[in-house]
Structure 1
Amino acid sequence: MHPEVQLRATADGSGTLYVPALDEHYHSTHGAVQEARHVYLAAGLEPFLVAATGPVRVLEVGFGTGLNALLTLERSLTAAVPIGYDTVEKHPLPWELVRGLATAPELQEPPLSAFRQQLHEAVWEKPVALTSGFTLRKLSGELQALALNDEAYQVIYFDAFAPDKQPDMWTDAVFGQLYAAAAPGGCLVSYCAKGSFKRSLRATGWQTEAIPGPPGKREMTRAWKQ
């Protein structure tokens, strides 16, 4: 067992990790998979896939267990356009730990069971085409230190630990950096609905909206670059 985290079950049967030092879970205890599908795919990715005529670019802040990436890869298998997926992680988790997490039955069957491992074992810093319609690039280190391309991403999954657990990730500087990296008309989605978060987004140019959250959470946040 990794010394800094513990395996935990969530209400929908899928697993998450608990970090005792932060008293924080990687996902909602009400259901890891259903949270990811609701917050990141349904509210963030799906509107762009429906309207897209060319590749959709996604930036994920917080690769974590790889769940958001896996679900996005799953969606790419039936999408009409390819998905380019960049993900940033300061503290990568070993596959030996993540493989012990329970997940949704459909994610345990081929080919997704193999893709789940490939996501974790893919090299860092270089694009890796896992399928003809899904290219992964894992970036290690602090988001704030990365030089992201301007106007590169239609969708940003903001999945950092909560503001009171990881305050350095919820600053005007970070959201200004992400605003610059978002394509015109692009969006940022997050499970968080705190007022301080939405104020920081608006201070850096984003237009925010509160929309229904996943099970166990009344609201979540979606922000747009106009």
Structure 2
Amino acid sequence: MKREIITTADGSNTIHIPEWNEQYHSKHGAIQEAYHVFIRNGLEQISKENIAILEIGFGTGLNCLITLLESNKTIHYIGVEAYPVALEELKKLNYTDNLNGKNKANYFQVIHACPWDVKQQISKQFSLTKQKKFFQEITDVNTYDLIYFDAFGARVQPELWTEKIFTIMYNSLRENGILVTYAAKGTIRRAMIAVGFSVERLPGPPGKREMLRATK
């Protein structure tokens, strides 16, 4: 399947898949979307000093990098990805040119140099485990405080936005844990509610009217 690097509205890159007309991040701004959905409405809502995060769709590692740069708490980050992005593509992405933060370029390299399925200490307060597997294979229970649900959209991969998947997410969260996603479709919200989540509609990032935050 053909893939190409494009520049989004905030100047940061993403990967575009023409056959699906789908991107890894919002064409209205990859970095803006990551900050709005996952940092402001996710990470910053967790008051704990020791936070376990599960990312559904590790992709380019952008959400991981921003979390590493922005958090002063102890983070245990698990990124799940069935189809890792090729190193050749990662080298073309300009995230470190568009982000603030000490050691940002080095961190981006280290994140992607980490072997899969092995816990790595990226900094004193940030550990990363990249897991190469399908989302359906997640078996964790009461493990995470926060889920970044960043799968491809329901239009192209509806099987990733079902009650079956959200049951796995619900079970993997600790009590009062939260899941945040850029998506806001009614069918997705209803699937979340059906498995036990309390769901809020929140203002979306640039280019989207709403997003969802679900609490266990």
> Which TM bucket (shorter chain)?
over 0.9
Structure 2 counterpart of 1:72, one-letter code: T
Specify which of 185, 188, 191 is matched with residue 194 of structure 1: 185
Q: Residues 158 and 188 of structure 1 are in contact (CA less than 8 Å); yes or no, is this contact kept in structure 2?
A: yes
Specify which of 12, 15, 19 is matched with residue 14 of structure 1: 12
TM-score by length of 1: 0.92
Specify which of 38, 41, 50 is matched with residue 40 of structure 1: 38
RMSD (Å) for aligned C-alpha atoms: 1.4
Specify which of 106, 123, 126 is matched with residue 131 of structure 1: 123
Q: How does 1:112-191 map to 2 (within 5 A)?
A: 112-148=104-140, 150-191=141-182
Q: Residues 8 and 29 of structure 2 are in contact (CA less than 8 Å); yes or no, is this contact kept in structure 1?
A: yes
Match status 1:59 vs 2:54: yes
Q: Residues 152 and 181 of structure 1 are in contact (CA less than 8 Å); yes or no, is this contact kept in structure 2?
A: yes
- In the TM superposition, residue 110 of structure 1 has moved relative to its aligned partner by 5.3
TM-score by length of 2: 0.96
**Structure 1: tracts of 5 or more residues without a match:** none
Q: How many residues were matched structurally?
A: 216
- In the TM superposition, residue 109 of structure 1 has moved relative to its aligned partner by 7.1
Specify which of 192, 209, 214 is matched with residue 205 of structure 2: 214
Deviation per residue, 1:73-120 (Å, 9 max, x gap): 1013xx1x3000001001101222112012263538751101101111
Structure 1 counterpart of 2:109, one-letter code: Q
- In the TM superposition, residue 147 of structure 1 has moved relative to its aligned partner by 2.1
Deviation per residue, 1:52-73 (Å, 9 max, x gap): 1x41000000011110000001
Partners of 1:110 and 1:184 lie apart in 2 by 34
Report which stretch shifted further, 210-219 or 102-111: 102-111
Name 1:23's counterpart in structure 2. Answer: 21
- In the TM superposition, residue 126 of structure 1 has moved relative to its aligned partner by 1.2
Structure 1 segments, 4+ long, off by >6 Å, are none
Partners of 1:120 and 1:4 lie apart in 2 by 22
Specify which of 69, 73, 85 is matched with residue 74 of structure 1: 69
Partners of 1:4 and 1:133 lie apart in 2 by 38
User: What secondary structure sits across from 1:117 in the alignment?
Assistant: helix
Deviation per residue, 1:28-59 (Å, 9 max, x gap): 111000100000011001111xx21x410000
Deviation per residue, 1:160-197 (Å, 9 max, x gap): 01101111111101000110000100100000000000
Partners of 1:24 and 1:62 lie apart in 2 by 14
Between the aligned residues of both structures, percent identity stands at 40
**Structure 2: tracts of 5 or more residues without a match:** none
Specify which of 92, 97, 107 is matched with residue 105 of structure 1: 97
